[in-house]
Amino acid sequence: MPGRQQTASGDEARIGAFLPEIDAFIAFLELERGLSRPTCAGYQSDLHQCAAHLAGQGVRGWATVTGAQAAAWLHSLGGGRYTAASLARKLAALRGLARHLVREEIRDDVFTDLLGGPKLTRRIPGTLTAEEVARLLAAPVGGDAQALRDRAFLELFYSSGLRVSELAGLTLQQIDLEQGYLRVFGKGAKERVVPVGRKAAEAVGAWLASGRPHFVKQRTGSQLFLSKRGTGLSRVTLWLLVKKYARRAGITKNVKPHLLRHSFATHLLNGGADLRAIQEMLGHANIGTTQIYTAVETKRLLGQHAKYHPRNRDRV
């Protein structure tokens, strides 16, 4: 069963009456909706937790769960043990299952319709300035194979606004340096085409010509960026390398790989790029997700006004 997690025998016996519907729902999410395995695993864990609570209250299966019983489970999660985002995900998992039960004619009603969720406040993402990005990209110095590789992946990371998982999974077949684009398989295995800038194309070309051959081993596959063992760079390794070069560049911010993606989007918006185009490049399914970057620009403009407008100064 796709996405099926191992459950302790005692837990499985306790929630056994709830498992068939959970398993069918997770299979639907993974096979038909194309959700990633980590997302499905998170939903599955949430639903197992809910089922355990319901079983403890004497509920015998999803067909008889009431909205009040579901609300009691959510209430039991309070007390600061979970963040608002975690609670929202648990509610989303339960709502999705409730709708699935109606689709499968197991129930006539969506028992979660009256449930309210936690109020989420979206944090404005941090970014690097253009000058900080320039210092970061210049941090790998030298002409050895590792320096060529690290310059190439940093340039590509910022140039194309990739997720770290997308960068780690890139293959030779996905990138076309002559045409200046690459094909990315993002969340839910959805394909999108992302531009590759001139500087990034030059850096990747240098890595392919003079760096990558030094890392190729007998069992090396088609991964674009290789470790010294000849295997593809992992997400963890990329994260550590980004942190290393941020320190070398003298950047005091907490630089994580996703910060380059945020900077990519913010700098494009500041330069006049269309929000819809940025949405496509980032692979956001919803324009609302991309609109958070307009808040970054608004915050910057307000800061500039507060700092430089003469009527905002103590002395005019």
Catalytic (active-site) positions? 163, 187, 258, 261, 284, 293
Owner of token pair 């980032």: 282
The closest alpha carbon to 62, from 112, 28, 12, 26, belongs to 112
The tokens describing 266, both together, are: 């913010």
CA 98 to chain centre: 26
Cβ pair 112, 95 in contact under 8 A: yes
Q: Which residues contact 282 (CB under 8 A, 6 or more apart)?
A: 161, 261, 265, 289, 290
Bridge partners (DSSP) of residue 183 are 193
Distance, in Å, from the CA atom of 189 to the CA atom of 32, rounded to the nearest integer, reads 12
Cα four-point dihedral sign 290, 257, 156, 174? negative
Bridge partners (DSSP) of residue 181 are 176, 195
How many of the other CB atoms lie within 10 Å of CB of 38?
10
Dihedral of the alpha carbons of 67, 83, 124, 126, in degrees to the nearest 10: -150
The tokens describing 231, both together, are: 């295997």
The DSSP element (H or E) to which 176 belongs, if any, is strand 175-176
Cα four-point dihedral sign 96, 102, 107, 108? positive
Owner of token pair 């997770």: 26
Distance, in Å, from the CA atom of 17 to the CA atom of 19, rounded to the nearest integer, reads 6
